[in-house]
Amino acid sequence: MNSKKLGKGLHLLGLLAFLAFTLFPFYWMVASSFKDQTDLLASPPVWTFIPTVANYAEVWQDDKVFGAIRNSLIVASCTTLLAVAMGAPAAYSLARFQFRGKKDLWFWFISNRMISPIVLALPVYLLAQSAGLLDTHLVLILIYLSFCLPIVVWICTDQFRSIPPDLEQAARLDNANQWDIFWRIYLPLGLPGIAVSAIFSFIFSWNELLYALVLTRSAVQTAPVIATSYMSGYELPWGKIMATGTIIVLPVTIFALFVSRHMVRGLTMGATK
């Protein structure tokens, strides 16, 4: 009994240590956003300080920040909706049908995530320039969709495979067509996996910096680009940067909390047969 209690205690301590390690960067960002420049640059770091909202006041007065957040919301929301709308039917086909080239198609979806984004930055820029799509929402949505769609297909395919085929056979006995089976059986039962893939797609689209920095100028700058624009060779306003970062993280956090009840089930469902 003592050894079991000791094991559980060590396990709990390990989990708490991992949780603290994971949450510390978020704590430091939020805490730094309420510090003045003197406290931010203090060495050793200041742990107790008088909070100030001056950094948020400066950010609030900067119209570029909220314009960038609006652009990020448009791009991330459209990318997520399109990725789920296109990826879920594709995942259903890969999970339940046998057709020529299925293995090659599945490998393409998996290998797509192996490509380093920096490798495609220049070709994508040249294509966008020749098509007249630079500094538009559409070019970011298209490039993000090419990266998010494989994630949705990957997760949803495994999710749909875990659904018992007997349900589909029972539906066919009731004269249900293919669309009814997908819409009334696979989508509701596969909702946890769809929610997880939507979270990953939204977070990727929201946080992505490289393509947003290369493909935008001023009209469609996203939130991460604006956050890095404060940095210069003469000044690093860490308080303003941290306040902007906190504001940027909030929408993703709210979205994750909104679908969190599906997330754990979606990550574990399909792991066992």
Are 154 and 110 within 8 A, CB to CB?
yes
Q: Which of 40, 29, 87 is nearest to 242 (CA)?
A: 29
For residue 55, how many other CB atoms are within 10 A of its CB? 24
Q: Which of 52, 59, 16 is nearest to 34 (CA)?
A: 52
- Contacts for 201 with CB less than 8 Å, ≥ 6 apart: 79, 80, 83, 84, 148, 151, 152
Q: Which amino acid is at 269?
A: M
Are 139 and 128 within 8 A, CB to CB?
yes
For residue 74, the model assigns a pLDDT of 93
How much is the pTM? 0.80
CATH of 65-222+250-268 given 1.10.3720.10, 3.30.300.30, 3.30.2270.10, 1.10.645.10: 1.10.3720.10
For residue 126, the model assigns a pLDDT of 92
SS3 of residue 272 by DSSP = coil
pLDDT tens per residue across all 273 residues of the chain: 577 777 788 888 998 999 899 889 888 888 888 888 888 888 788 888 888 888 888 888 877 888 888 999 999 999 999 999 999 998 888 888 888 887 888 787 777 777 778 888 888 999 999 988 898 999 999 999 988 998 899 888 888 888 888 887 788 777 778 788 888 888 888 888 888 888 889 888 998 888 998 898 888 888 888 888 877 667 778 888 888 888 888 877 887 777 666 565 555 554 444
**Distances, alpha carbon 142 to alpha carbons 31, 137, 139, 198, in Å:** 36, 9, 5, 16
Q: Which of 33, 27, 25, 36 is nearest to 65 (CA)?
A: 33
Phi and psi dihedrals of 150, rounded to 5?
A: -60, -35
Domain borders along the chain are 65-222+250-268
Q: Which of 145, 142, 140 is nearest to 72 (CA)?
A: 140
